Amino acid sequence: MKVLVTGGAGFIGSHVVDRCLAAGHEVVIVDDLSTGHRSRLDGRARFHEVSIGSPELADVFAVERPDVVNHQAAQVEVRRSVDDPIHDAQINIIGSLNLLQCCRRFGVERVIYASSGGAVYGDAVVIPTPEDHPTRPASPYGISKLAVEHYLACWQELYGIRTLALRYANVYGPRQSPFGEAGVVAIFAHRLLRGEEAVINGDGRQTRDYVYVGDVAAANGRAIECAEITGALNVGTGVETDVIELFERLRVAAGVSAAPRHGPPKPGEQRRSAIDPRRAAERLGWRPTVALADGLRLTVEHMRSDGRGAGEARLRPHG
């Protein structure tokens, strides 16, 4: 099967590429390298340096004719979406629409989409949050992710393309950049290994659901194999971990003695977030397999061996 992965030189996308290649699929990568890294490209996959919003994307589809599109490319920083919602929408909505139009024109059978569990649900009443919980996105980023889910459902109804949105929890692991807003695990690990002070926003009791990137890649692999599964599925652990506990676990994994500094809370930050993964277990046969302590250890080991802090060396996904 030929799988086209958008954002395949990025953090999650490169692990998805690894998973697809290991499963024996023919893989095509589309990435504009705005946040992805050329060093993550696997020579067994064909690479096109193209933005998902570019008219040139149609030329890639005309040549490659993929069976499946796995859409990982996105603007992922919530704060930036608040500061510049037009930029967020241009990439996440208009770029995705350009991609979906190519899927329609060139007969793609299956689209798998990287959505966001925390962002589309917003401040949820039920935690862990199931897929049928009301969606109340509190940021332009969350709105853009949810909007594309609606477009996917529309394309399935209009054109018969089987679509599945995977609503990720907070994904962490090797290759995640410590140089942006997103990715508190990478940010903390980078600072601990460099002997720099880590800053916890607010009291540090805000919780998130941390899922290892290898497990996320495995969920994408199952989504390709289970082509009849459509709709939206959570990809997380269902376990809440607060920021203070996360820092302490990372400090132990790094083997350093350090204390964080508490800064002011981020305006509008969600207090609690965890998503219920049981439906993915029932429908995809997928469950997270990497415990948080093990995943943090693997992340720290990778960042230490990489030596650059940006997580660019290659590591096989786990799970």
Residue 156 confidence (pLDDT) above 50: yes
pLDDT on residue 310: 41
The CATH number of the domain holding residue 167 is 3.40.50.720
Residue 197 sits at the vertex; the CA angle it makes with 179 and 308, to the nearest 5 degrees, is: 40
The string of pLDDT tens digits covering residues 107-131 is 999 999 999 999 999 999 999 999 9
The string of pLDDT tens digits covering residues 34-56 is 999 999 999 999 999 999 999 99
Has residue 96 been placed in a domain? yes
Identified catalytic residue from 113, 121, 141, 210 = 141
Has residue 32 been placed in a domain? yes
121 is an active site residue: no
| Whole-number percent of the chain with pLDDT over 90 | 91
pLDDT on residue 207: 97
180 — pLDDT class (breaks 50, 70, 90): confident
Has residue 313 been placed in a domain? no
Has residue 86 been placed in a domain? yes
Residues 6+ apart with CB under 8 A from 213: 11, 12, 15, 171, 172, 173, 174, 175, 176, 317
307 — pLDDT class (breaks 50, 70, 90): low
The string of pLDDT tens digits covering residues 54-88 is 999 999 999 999 999 999 999 999 989 999 999 99
Q: Which residue has the higher pLDDT, 280 or 306?
A: 280
Has residue 312 been placed in a domain? no
Distance (Å, whole) CA 29 – CA 5:
5
Has residue 316 been placed in a domain? no
Number of domains making up the chain? 1
Residue 318 confidence (pLDDT) above 60: no
Its domain, for residue 158, covers: 2-306
Phi/psi-derived region of residue 296, left when phi > 0, alpha when psi is between -120 and 50, beta in every other case: alpha
Has residue 66 been placed in a domain? yes
Has residue 315 been placed in a domain? no
pLDDT on residue 275: 98
Distance (Å, whole) CA 185 – CA 175:
11
Instruction: Return the DSSP state at 128.
Output: S
pLDDT on residue 172: 98
6 — pLDDT class (breaks 50, 70, 90): very high
CB environment 194-230: b (16+ within 10 A), e (fewer): eeeebebeeeeebbbbbbbbbbbbbbbbbbbeeeebb
Distance (Å, whole) CA 306 – CA 166:
29
pLDDT on residue 252: 96
Instruction: Tell me the three state secondary structure of residue 92.
Output: helix
The string of pLDDT tens digits covering residues 20-31 is 999 999 999 999
181 — pLDDT class (breaks 50, 70, 90): low
